[in-house]
Chains A and B, each alone.
Chain A
Amino acid sequence: MNYILHLLIMIGIYLVLSYGLNLVVGFGGLLSLCYAVFYGIGAYASTLLMVKVGISFIPAVLLGIVIAAIFAFLIGVPALRFRGDSFVLVTLGIQMIVFTILYNWVDLTRGPYGIPGIPRPVVAGYEITSLYEYLILVGVILLFSLSVLFILYNAPFGLALKALRDDEMAAEGLGKSPVHMFLYAFVISAVFASTAGSLYAAYVTYIDPTSFTLDESIFLLAILLVGGAGNRIGPFVGTVFMILLPEALRFLGLPDTVAPNVRQMIYGLTLIVLMFLRPQGLAGEYRVK
């Protein structure tokens, strides 16, 4: 039972992430490889604010959001001068730089030693300790995030992003500013990444930089490519699939010595087959290029 609760909590956190990233990847059509940066900034910012400054969970989450949004703005301004392959490479570079900083700025982040003993979140005077309570916390934040994001998806804002994604020249010819719109999407998505990061840190009560690597950014992007980007169902399908598939493979009863490797290979193979069969993702109508 605890195992299932744990999986549900992780799915909830990743739903906040994937629905946020969807704004950039699905609506903006920009393949970002640095989304884990904002996930990490949220986790570290709220953790350090709680551990070093001593403020409580909710204000720490909110301040983390502000910090992540500022970073997203500073990163977005130069990165969004690029499109297509160049944008992918630039965001990859940013991901590597930020990871290196998290890893080596030992005075601030304790680097590879990580930060253990993160205090459990206290919400309205109530300390959250059991898995059920965590699930409720994640569920509430997920619901709130989705209601904000779905309004944006459906608003003229979402439509303008999709227009820019499909044909930037034509959309700009209709008066849409690519720089402003993409930057909004980039910053807003970072807000949700940061929220998810704070939740994650408060849940596992230990963070180190290896949770926020390029691998993680690729995993988050893969969720959208597998599930389908640019709509409301794709991120859900992708998140559930990508988190549950490796878990399901555990029950194959493989001999212990080869199990992890075989599982990895089946996982990879499934993704390849999927892209052959449904290049637009399981529940997608739009194919990310």
Chain B
Amino acid sequence: MMEGLKIKRVSKTLNGIRIVDDVTATFLPGRITALIGPNGAGKTTLFHLITGELKADSGEIVYKGDDISKLKPYIIARRGVGRLFQDVRVFDNLTVFDNVASACFDQEVESPWYPFVKCSHLKRKIREIKDVIYSYLNFVGLSDMDNIYAGALSYGQQKLLAIARLLAGGYSLLLLDEPTAGLNPVMIKKVLEILERIVEEDKGKTIILVEHNMSAVTEVADWVYFMNEGKIAFFGRTDHVLGDKEVREIYLGM
């Protein structure tokens, strides 16, 4: 049985404009699939539809066999769908440490009675996640800024923090909206490496990569969807799609 994410004939109209137009796509686990296309193509909107921020007008979004298109965003997240936002969205008034910590507790631990009825569990849990949090902060090079408010970080640092927060959440489907934009070459390399490692180590994990950085796409994605004006225009192996005449004209300017 094939799991992963299946988008079936999904459409969305906003202010009279069809932003996502009859999109059908499958994203298989155990690999990184890229989703590319010009500015305004509808890539971010498609992510909004998958995470439930927006509701599709028609069509189905099936993840691990269930239609998630009508669920609330927090339920979809609890089903394992995690997202890196194009506009980063760190928690400005929380410390760097707390930003990552906020991804580490489930709804039971976050209930108001948990610290009273499961006090010793909570203490142990907090000790355990501390190491996990620092390992992710180390990975993105922010561990000595653990006590700084996230709002005071640079854009690139915020992006790294959002990546650490997402990874700490342990999601099985990662929707990454331009993870390399704003990062320096060394960090881009590290982030791409960990993405590859994630799908290699756990064949149940699915990664969708929205990127305008074509060298990143060629490096980690074997398969690419090309989206234009709300539609999926092409799907194929990366070299094939990037070599296509129309893609080169519309998108790459060659």
Contacts and interface: CB of A to CB of B under 8 A. Distances in A.
Given A157-B115, A159-B98, A173 B82 contact: yes
Interface residues of A, number: 30
Contacts of B89: 167, 169-170
A175 B106 contact: yes
A152 B122 CA distance: 12
A175 B114 contact: no
Give the interface SS of chain A, mostly helix, strand, loop or mixed. Answer: helix
Interface string A223-261: 000000010000000000000000000000000000000
Nearest to A287: B93
Interface string B61-85: 0000000000011100110001101
Nearest to A184: B112
A156 B74 contact: no
A225 B112 CA distance: 25
Contact of B91 (A157, A166, A178, A181): A166
B90 interface: yes
A159 B101 contact: yes
A19 to B, nearest CB: 15
A186 to B, nearest CB: 11
B16 to A, nearest CB: 24
Contacts of B91: 162-163, 166-167, 170-171
A285 B93 contact: yes
Q: How large is the interface on B (under 10, 10 to 19, 20 to 34, 35 or more residues)?
A: 20 to 34
A286 B150 CA distance: 12
A66 B81 CA distance: 38
A188 B116 CA distance: 14
Given A157-B115, A160-B105, A166 B77 contact: no
Contacts of B72: 172, 177
A169 B106 CA distance: 17
A190 to B, nearest CB: 13
Contact of B93 (A151, A166, A171): A166
Nearest to B92: A166
A266 to B, nearest CB: 32
Interface of B: 51, 53, 72-74, 77-78, 82-83, 85, 89-94, 98, 101-103, 105-107, 109-112, 114-116, 122, 149, 165, 169
Given A184-B112, A230-B93, 10 more contacts: A157-B110, A157-B112, A159-B102, A159-B110, A170-B89, A170-B91, A172-B74, A173-B83, A174-B103, A177-B72
13 contacts: A151-B116, A152-B112, A152-B115, A156-B105, A156-B110, A156-B114, A157-B115, A159-B98, A160-B110, A162-B94, A169-B53, A174-B77, A177-B74
